[in-house]
C-alpha cells in the first residue's frame, strides 16, 4: 500500500511537470537519451568501463531537478579561477583513423572511399588516442573527460569559480560523410554539461557561454522570435548555473550574469549576436537583438557599479575587427571604457591560440586603431590550420600592439587625458587556447585579488577582483600515448609558463600590458627575445621554428 501511494504521488507530479513544460522543450529533453547510453553508443560498446569513463555521472539533470538549490555559497575565497574553452568533442572520433577523414575513417575504409591506391612509401597520417595535434580532427570525448579528471584531482578544492567559454560540439569538417545535426550538437553539449556538473557541482560555480559551434547551423542564431527552442534548450541545460531572475533574459537572448563571489559579478555574453558570420543579426544598430544585448550589458555594468561590485565579461568570440561587425565592436569598446573602473577582465576563446588583444577605448582613437589594423574576415573555421592565415594573424597582432604603443606615445606627449576619464582606459582582451588539440590541449588558471583592503596582509596594492596573473598548463598527448601501460596512465597537464616568469607581469591590468607591448615591439635584442617567447607560447611550443 505504501509503494502504491508513493507511485501515485510521483505519477501526479510527473503529470504536473508534463503540463507546465512547453511541448517543444519536452520533445528536446526526450530526444536526449540517458548519459550512460549515449557514452556506450559513442564508444561502440554496451559496457562503460572505468577506463572508458573517467568521471562517472548520473543521468543528465532535467528541468525538474534544476529547481533545486544553487551552488554552495562561498565561505572562503582561494583566489583562483579556471578558464576552459573550445573542447570540440567528437563522438565519431576514432583513434587510428586518417586525419584526411577528420579522424572518422580507418585507413582501409578511407582507401576504399577514395577508390585509389596509396603510392608506395607514402605515409598515412592518423589520429592518436587523445587527438591529432595540428590537424583537421576534433577531440575525442576521452580527452575532455581526462582533462576534467586532472582538474578535479589537482584544482577542484582550490577554485572559486570556472568560466567555460563554449564550443563543446565538433566542427563540420566531415560534412560530406558525417554532417553535423542539431540533435548531435545538443547531445554533445548535454554530455559535457553533465561531466562539468558531476565534477564541480555544487561547490564550484560554473559560468558557461555559447560558442559558434554550439548552435545549428554553426554561427547562426537569432533572438527568441527565431531560435526559441535552441535558447530554451540551453536555459534548461544550464539552469544549475543561471540565476532564477536571469532565466527569462537568457531565453530571450542567450546571455546572463551571476555573482560568483562577494562583490564579483561575471557577465556571460552571447557574442554570436556581434559576429560578422551570423547571418541572423546584421549589426548593433537600434532595434536589433545585438543592440538590445548591448543595452542590457550597459545596464548590468551600471548596476554592478551602483552595488560597489566588480565585474568580468566572458564570451566565446573575442571582440576584433576580424570577427565583430564594426557597429558592435565600437559599442563594446565604448561600454568597456565607460565602466573601466569596475570592469576588470575580458575572457574569451574561439581562436585556439594563446594571446591577447589591446584597444584604446576612447572614441576618437578607436576608429584610428581599427583602420590601422583592419584585416579581412576569414570565411571558415580553418583559419588557424593554414600557415598563410596564421602569418596574416600574427602580423595583424604585431600591428595592433605597435599602434597602441604609438597612440599612447602621442597621448602622453601632446594630449591631456579626457576630463571624464583621467586614465584613458585601454581594453585588454584575454584569449585562452583550447582543449581541442589545435596545438596541444590546454587549460588556464587565473589568480585574482581577494582582499577588500589590499594594503593589509597582502603583497599587492590592487583593487579587489583584479586579475593578478595566470598559469598556463598543457598536456603533451603524444608523449602520454607513447608512455601508456595497459591504458591506465592518467593524463597529467604540466605547467607551460606563468605570466610573471614569462613576461615579468606583476598583474594583468591595462597598465602592465601597455608596458609589455612597448617592450615586445622594440627591435632590439631584448624585444626580439620577448616576442619570440610570446609566439612560442601562442602556439603552445609546437611551431617554434616557424615563427621565431
Q: Is the pLDDT of residue 279 over 60?
A: yes
Higher pLDDT, 357 or 362: 357
Same domain, 200 and 251: yes
Check residue 461 and give its pLDDT: 76
d(CA 126, CA 407): 48
Q: 290: pLDDT confidence band, cut at 50, 70 and 90? A: very high
Same domain, 145 and 113: no
Same domain, 185 and 297: yes
Is residue 472 a part of any domain in this protein? no
Is residue 5 a part of any domain in this protein? yes
Higher pLDDT, 28 or 353: 353
384: its cell numbers: 588557424
d(CA 436, CA 133): 8
State mean pLDDT over 104-125: 68
Is residue 468 a part of any domain in this protein? no
Average pLDDT, the chain: 82
Same domain, 118 and 174: no
Same domain, 77 and 10: no
d(CA 40, CA 46): 5
Higher pLDDT, 93 or 451: 93
Is residue 484 a part of any domain in this protein? no
Domain assignment of residue 101, given as a range: 94-130
Higher pLDDT, 152 or 543: 152
Residue that is last in its domain, among 112, 130, 148: 130
Higher pLDDT, 370 or 515: 515
Contacts of 288 (CB under 8 A, 6+ apart): 281, 282
For 240-303, the DSSP string reads: TTS-GGGHHHHHHHS-EEEEEETTEEEEE--GGGTBTT-TT---SSTTSHHHHHHHHHHHHHHH
Q: Is the pLDDT of residue 433 over 60?
A: yes
Closest residue by Cα to residue 317 from 393, 444, 234, 209: 209
Range of lowest pLDDT (75-79, 101-105, 403-407):
403-407
Check residue 425 and give its pLDDT: 78
Closest residue by Cα to residue 186 from 350, 351, 30: 30
Is residue 497 a part of any domain in this protein? no
Residue that is last in its domain, among 399, 434, 453: 453
Higher pLDDT, 29 or 358: 358
Residue that is last in its domain, among 387, 421, 453: 453
Count CB atoms within 10 A of the CB of residue 244. Answer: 9
Question: Is the torsion defined by CA of 256, 19, 216, 39 positive or negative?
Answer: positive
Same domain, 162 and 14: no
Same domain, 145 and 252: yes
Same domain, 428 and 320: yes
Check residue 446 and give its pLDDT: 99
Is residue 301 a part of any domain in this protein? yes
Same domain, 8 and 81: no
Is residue 415 a part of any domain in this protein? yes
Range of lowest pLDDT (46-50, 157-161, 371-375, 527-531):
46-50
Same domain, 329 and 225: yes
Range of lowest pLDDT (29-38, 122-131, 212-221):
29-38
Same domain, 6 and 88: no
For 289-342, the DSSP string reads: HHHHHHHHHHHHHHHHHHHT-EEEEE-SSPP-TTTB-HHHHHHHHHHHHHTTTT
Q: 371: pLDDT confidence band, cut at 50, 70 and 90? A: very low
29: its cell numbers: 529533453
* Number of domains within the chain: 3
307: its cell numbers: 552595488
- The enclosing domain of 416 has a CATH number of 3.60.21
Same domain, 356 and 414: yes
Q: Spell out the alpha helix ranges (H) of 84-162.
A: 107-114, 141-154
SS3 content of the chain, % helix, strand, coil (to 5): 40, 15, 45
Is residue 509 a part of any domain in this protein? no
Amino acid at each position: 500500500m505504501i509503494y502504491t501511494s508513493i507511485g501515485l504521488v510521483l505519477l501526479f507530479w510527473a503529470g504536473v511537470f508534463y503540463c507546465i513544460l512547453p511541448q517543444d522543450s519536452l520533445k528536446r529533453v526526450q530526444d536526449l537519451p540517458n548519459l550512460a547510453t549515449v557514452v556506450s553508443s559513442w564508444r561502440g560498446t554496451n559496457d562503460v568501463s572505468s577506463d572508458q569513463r573517467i568521471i562517472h555521472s548520473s543521468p543528465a539533470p532535467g528541468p525538474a531537478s534544476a529547481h533545486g538549490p544553487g551552488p554552495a555559497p562561498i565561505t572562503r575565497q582561494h583566489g583562483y579561477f579556471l578558464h576552459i574553452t573550445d573542447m570540440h568533442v567528437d563522438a565519431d572520433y576514432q583513434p587510428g583513423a586518417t586525419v584526411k577523414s577528420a579522424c572518422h575513417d580507418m585507413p582501409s575504409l578511407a582507401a576504399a572511399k577514395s577508390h585509389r591506391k596509396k603510392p608506395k612509401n607514402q605515409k598515412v597520417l592518423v589520429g592518436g588516442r587523445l587527438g591529432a595535434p595540428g590537424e583537421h580532427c576534433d577531440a575525442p570525448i576521452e580527452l575532455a573527460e581526462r582533462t576534467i579528471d586532472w582538474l578535479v584531482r589537482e584544482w577542484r578544492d582550490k577554485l572559486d569559480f570556472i568560466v567555460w567559454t563554449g564550443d563543446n560540439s565538433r566542427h563540420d569538417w566531415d560534412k560530406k560523410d558525417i554532417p553535423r545535426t542539431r540533435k548531435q550538437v545538443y547531445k554533445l553539449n548535454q554530455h559535457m554539461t553533465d561531466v562539468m556538473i558531476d565534477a564541480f557541482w555544487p561547490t564550484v560555480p560554473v559560468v558557461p557561454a555559447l560558442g559558434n559551434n554550439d548552435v545549428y547551423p554553426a554561427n547562426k542564431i537569432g533572438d527568441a522570435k527565431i531560435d526559441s527552442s535552441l535558447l530554451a534548450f540551453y536555459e534548461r541545460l544550464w539552469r544549475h548555473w543561471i540565476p532564477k531572475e536571469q532565466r527569462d533574459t537568457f531565453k530571450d537572448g542567450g546571455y546572463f550574469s551571476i555573482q560568483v563571489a562577494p562583490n564579483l559579478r561575471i557577465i556571460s555574453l552571447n557574442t554570436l549576436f556581434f559576429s560578422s558570420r551570423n547571418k541572423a543579426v546584421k549589426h548593433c544598430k537600434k532595434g536589433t537583438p545585438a543592440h538590445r544585448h548591448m543595452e542590457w550589458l550597459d545596464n548590468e555594468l551600471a548596476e554592478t557599479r551602483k552595488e560597489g561590485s566588480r565585474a568580468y565579461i566572458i564570451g566565446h568570440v573575442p571582440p576584433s575587427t576580424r570577427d565583430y561587425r564594426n557597429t558592435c565592436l565600437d559599442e563594446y569598446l565604448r561600454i568597456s571604457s565607460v565602466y573601466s573602473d569596475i570592469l576588470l577582465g575580458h575572457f574569451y576563446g574561439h581562436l585556439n591560440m594563446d594571446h591577447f588583444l589591446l584597444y584604446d577605448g576612447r572614441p576618437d582613437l578607436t576608429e584610428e586603431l581599427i583602420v590601422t589594423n583592419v584585416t579581412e574576415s576569414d570565411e571558415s573555421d580553418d583559419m588557424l590550420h593554414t600557415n598563410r592565415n596564421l602569418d596574416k594573424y600574427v602580423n595583424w597582432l604585431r600591428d595592433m600592439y605597435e599602434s597602441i604603443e604609438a597612440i599612447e606615445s602621442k597621448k602622453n606627449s601632446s594630449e591631456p587625458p579626457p576630463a571624464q576619464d583621467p586614465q584613458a582606459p585601454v581594453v585588454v582582451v584575454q584569449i585562452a587556447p583550447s582543449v581541442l588539440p589545435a596545438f596541444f590541449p590546454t587549460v588556464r588558471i587565473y589568480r585574482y585579488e581577494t582582499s577588500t583592503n589590499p594594503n593589509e596582509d597582502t603583497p599587492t596594492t590592487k583593487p579587489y577582483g583584479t586579475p593578478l596573473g595566470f598559469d598556463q598548463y598543457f598536456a603533451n598527448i603524444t608523449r602520454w600515448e607513447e608512455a601508456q601501460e595497459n591504458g591506465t596512465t592518467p593524463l597529467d597537464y604540466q605547467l607551460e609558463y606563468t605570466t610573471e616568469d614569462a613576461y615579468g607581469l606583476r598583474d594583468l591590468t591595462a597598465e602592465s600590458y601597455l608596458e609589455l607591448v612597448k617592450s615586445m615591439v622594440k627591435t632590439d635584442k631584448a624585444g626580439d627575445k620577448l616576442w619570440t617567447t610570446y609566439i612560442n607560447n601562442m602556439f603552445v611550443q609546437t611551431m617554434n621554428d616557424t615563427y621565431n
